[in-house]
């Protein structure tokens, strides 16, 4: 696999600087060129689609322009995320395997990195299939890009530390035309070790840390919570932005 998709703002963007600061605005324009494996971003471009860009409350690259000591720069990567829901807006969350190198035991929507020259919606559905065993296409009701989120790892950087990974995550609503009770989930066990379906109201309570049901306390709040689990911050922000 090649690097993936180049993310450009006039020129290719590299990790180490907060994207939201580059635009100084959370409403941006975007254009995806599949044949060139490029996602072009601009503050305001006629004829391009517009979308909100979110990031962490404590972005580790905010007010910084970080550079690697070895001068080996890392490109900002592109990922797709599926906020998968059934016909009644029950949503699927999966738990990242405890042996994953990044964000182990965090509860997230299915998703992953975009490979070069691929259709973004197809990539999103491919990730759902890989992680859940669910072939969405035959039962797809609608699919819509809702919001973008800038993710940086580690979430806290020491002085002169350079990000290991900086990713622009594209969150899609992926709605199927039947009840979750009629679909079968088969976890991709290398990446996922648990899953649960939640109603929209349950999701809002869990993400706001307001759930009272004991069985869901491990999931509630932003990762990492006191249980070493919780929901990834980008997934909380994206969901609340779209459905709160």
| Ramachandran assignment for 89, one of left (phi > 0), alpha (psi -120 to 50 degrees), beta (any other) | left
Three-class secondary structure of residue 194 per DSSP: strand
Residue range 213-231, pLDDT digits in tens:
888 989 999 999 999 999 9
pLDDT band at 1 (very low <50, low <70, confident <90, very high): very low
End-to-end CA separation in angstroms for the chain: 38
User: Lowest-pLDDT range, 75-79, 104-108, 170-174, 207-211?
Assistant: 207-211
Residue range 55-90, pLDDT digits in tens:
999 999 999 999 988 888 999 999 999 999 999 999
Nearest to 172 by CA among 150, 191, 147, 197: 147
Quote the pTM value.
0.95
Nearest to 33 by CA among 117, 94, 99, 115: 117
Determine how many CB atoms are found less than 10 A away from the CB of residue 208. Answer: 14
pLDDT band at 3 (very low <50, low <70, confident <90, very high): low
Where would I find the H helices in 93-209? 120-132, 200-207
Nearest to 195 by CA among 65, 64, 93: 93
Average pLDDT estimate for 36-63 = 95
């Amino acid at each position: 696999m090649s690097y993936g998709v180049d993310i450009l703002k006039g020129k290719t963007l590299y990790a180490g600087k907060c994207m939201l600061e580059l635009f100084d605005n959370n409403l941006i324009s975007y254009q995806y060129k599949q044949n060139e494996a490029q996602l072009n971003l601009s503050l305001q471009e006629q004829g391009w689609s517009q979308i909100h860009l979110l990031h962490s409350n404590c972005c580790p690259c905010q007010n910084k322009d970080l550079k690697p000591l070895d001068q080996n720069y890392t490109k900002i990567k592109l990922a797709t995320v599926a906020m998968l829901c059934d016909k009644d807006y029950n949503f699927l969350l999966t738990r990242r395997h405890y042996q994953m190198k990044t964000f182990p035991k965090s509860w997230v929507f299915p998703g992953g990195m975009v490979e070069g020259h691929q259709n973004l919606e197809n990539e999103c559905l491919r990730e759902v299939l890989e992680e859940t065993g669910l072939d969405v296409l035959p039962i797809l009701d609608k699919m819509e890009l809702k919001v973008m989120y800038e993710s940086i790892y580690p979430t806290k950087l020491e002085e002169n530390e350079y990000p290991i990974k900086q990713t622009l995550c594209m969150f899609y609503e992926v709605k199927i035309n039947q009840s979750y009770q009629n679909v079968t989930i088969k976890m991709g066990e290398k990446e996922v070790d648990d899953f649960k379906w939640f109603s929209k109201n349950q999701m809002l309570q869990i993400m706001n840390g307001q759930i009272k049901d004991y069985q869901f306390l491990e999931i509630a709040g932003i990762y990492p919570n006191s249980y070493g689990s919780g929901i990834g911050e980008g997934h909380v922000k994206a969901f609340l932005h779209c459905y709160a």
